[in-house]
Structure 1
Amino acid sequence: MGFLGRWLSDAIRLGLALSLTLAAMQVPAIAQGYATALLQIAQESRRDIEHRKAVARQFYAIPAEDDEGVIAALRRVEPANAESLGNSIRRAAGLRAAYDRIEAASPLLRPVVALADAMDDEVDKHAILRTALAEHVPQVSLSLAGGVYGLAGLLLGTLLAQMVIAPFAGRAAARRAAWR
Structure 2
Amino acid sequence: MRRFIAGWLSDSIRFGLGLMFALAALQLPALTHAYTTALLQVAEGTRRDINQRKEVASQYYRWSDTMADAAAVDALRPLEPANAEGLSASIAREGLLRDSYRRLMAAPELLRPLKAGWELVEDAGTETREVLRIAWATHVPQVVISTAGAIYGLAGLMLGLLLAQLLLTFLAALWRPRPKRLNTAVERRHPTLPARDSLP
TM > 0.5: yes
Q: Whole-Å Cα distance in 2 between the matches of residues 167 and 42 of structure 1?
A: 49
Q: CA deviation at 1:121?
A: 2.9
Q: Whole-Å Cα distance in 2 between the matches of residues 79 and 2 of structure 1?
A: 77
**One of 158, 162, 165 as aligned partner of 1:159:** 162
> Does residue 1:60 correspond to 2:66, yes or no?
no
**One of 83, 86, 90 as aligned partner of 1:84:** 86
Aligned 8 A contact 1:94 1:123 in 2: no
Change in CA separation of 1:123 and 1:104 when aligned onto 2, cut-off 3 Å: farther
Matched residue, 1:178: none
Matched residue, 1:37: 38
Matched residue, 2:191: none
Where does 1:123-134 land on structure 2 (aligned, <5 Å)? 123-134=126-137
Listed one character per residue, the Cα deviations across residues 118-149 of structure 1 (whole Å, up to 9, x for unaligned) are: 23134530232133224322111111111111
Q: CA deviation at 1:174?
A: 7.8
Give 3-state SS (helix, strand or coil) of 2:135's partner. Answer: helix
Larger mean Cα displacement after TM superposition, 90-99 or 71-80 = 71-80
Q: Whole-Å Cα distance in 1 between the matches of residues 125 and 12 of structure 2?
A: 45
Listed one character per residue, the Cα deviations across residues 43-69 of structure 1 (whole Å, up to 9, x for unaligned) are: 011012112112211211123611111
Amino-acid identity (%): 49
Matched residue, 1:147: 150
Matched residue, 1:113: 115
Q: Whole-Å Cα distance in 2 between the matches of residues 27 and 68 of structure 1?
A: 38
After TM superposition, the score normalised by the length of structure 2 is: 0.80
Aligned 8 A contact 1:91 1:123 in 2: no
| Structure with the largest fraction of helix | 1
Q: Whole-Å Cα distance in 1 between the matches of residues 105 and 126 of structure 2?
A: 19
RMSD, matched Cα: 2.0
> Does residue 1:94 correspond to 2:91, yes or no?
no
Q: Whole-Å Cα distance in 2 between the matches of residues 108 and 166 of structure 1?
A: 33
**Structure 2: 5+ residue runs without aligned partners?**
179-200
**Considering only CA atoms, is the larger Rg found in Structure 1 or Structure 2?**
2
Q: Whole-Å Cα distance in 1 between the matches of residues 125 and 16 of structure 2?
A: 39
Q: CA deviation at 1:169?
A: 5.0
